[in-house]
């Protein structure tokens, strides 16, 4: 059974429909890249999974259980960890307070998160608003890990960061994959990085899953056709 499974999901923002038929699944321990050009529905799909956007048809299942009627905080409790686009943390809390506020019991605790991101340990007493963009992103990932998710979703986790910081984030994501086997759903513009980390990919075009397959099968022709790279 898949850990997460979406079938023919449709969703709208008021009168404006964004998703027209999203099929996607993530197995336990698997890394899936969710890809597509700008505005094709990647963030909306992540929002549907996190229950921040309600779908109007189709199904969203976590371990075979329909989670379509869960409130967002219950989705988090059910094991869906989200690092949203724009890395939202509590600006008026310190790094440590941000992490503690998210904590739920399990493998991930302060010690493990700060071992993954040593910079967070160095900055633990600083307000999160005083962190650099890269450090804020590390904190956003750390917060999501502190919830001890079954599935971690990263929406554009490296966007707008300097190349050296992006590498630090990717290194941490690779560690998550190799050392913890956490299931990941990753949205990112870097095909090169996704190729290194993802087992499979799902490509969206105008809110529809138009290609699903092993990352190794995503050749130049497919990338050119659907991603324009």
Q: Which residues bind ligand ATP (CB under 6 A)?
A: 13, 16, 18, 36, 38-44
Secondary structure class of 2 (helix, strand, coil): coil
Identity of the residue, 43 or 50, whose beta carbon is nearer to ligand ATP in the bound complex = 43
Residue 70, number of CB atoms within 10 A of its CB: 18
Identity of the residue, 142 or 207, whose beta carbon is nearer to ligand ATP in the bound complex = 207
Identity of the residue, 121 or 159, whose beta carbon is nearer to ligand ATP in the bound complex = 159
Residues near 53 by beta carbon (within 8 Å), at least 6 away in sequence: 11, 13, 44, 47
Question: CB of 13: closest distance to ligand ATP in angstroms?
Answer: 3
Question: CB of 20: closest distance to ligand ATP in angstroms?
Answer: 10
Question: CB of 133: closest distance to ligand ATP in angstroms?
Answer: 17
Identity of the residue, 22 or 146, whose beta carbon is nearer to ligand ATP in the bound complex = 22
Question: CB of 41: closest distance to ligand ATP in angstroms?
Answer: 4
Question: CB of 189: closest distance to ligand ATP in angstroms?
Answer: 7
- Look at strands 200-205 and 80-83 and give their pairing: unpaired
Identity of the residue, 22 or 102, whose beta carbon is nearer to ligand ATP in the bound complex = 22
Distance CA 68, CA 60 (A): 6
H or E segment at 66? strand 65-66
**Exposed/middle/buried for residue 17 (C-beta within 10 Å: 0-12, 13-18, 19+):** middle
Secondary structure class of 119 (helix, strand, coil): helix
């Amino acid at each position: 059974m898949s850990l997460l499974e979406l079938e023919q999901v449709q969703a709208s923002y008021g009168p404006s429909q964004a998703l027209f038929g999203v099929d996607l699944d993530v197995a336990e321990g698997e890394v899936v890249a969710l890809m597509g050009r700008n505005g094709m529905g990647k963030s909306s799909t992540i929002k549907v999974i996190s229950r921040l956007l309600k779908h109007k048809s189709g199904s969203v299942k976590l371990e075979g259980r329909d989670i379509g009627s869960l409130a967002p905080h219950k989705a988090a409790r059910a094991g869906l960890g989200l690092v949203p686009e724009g890395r939202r943390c509590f600006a008026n809390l310190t790094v440590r307070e941000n992490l503690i506020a998210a904590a739920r019991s399990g493998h991930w605790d302060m010690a493990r998160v700060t071992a993954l991101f040593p910079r967070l340990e160095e900055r633990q007493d600083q307000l999160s608003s005083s962190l650099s963009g890269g450090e804020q992103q590390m904190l956003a990932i750390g917060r999501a890990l502190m919830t001890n998710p079954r599935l971690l979703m990263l929406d554009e986790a490296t966007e707008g960061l300097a190349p050296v910081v992006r590498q630090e984030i990717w290194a941490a994501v690779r560690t998550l994959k190799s050392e913890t086997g956490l299931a990941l759903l990753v949205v990112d513009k870097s095909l090169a990085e996704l190729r290194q980390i993802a087992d499979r990919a799902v490509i969206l075009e105008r809110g529809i899953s138009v290609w699903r397959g092993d990352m190794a099968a995503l050749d130049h022709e497919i990338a050119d056709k659907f991603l324009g790279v």
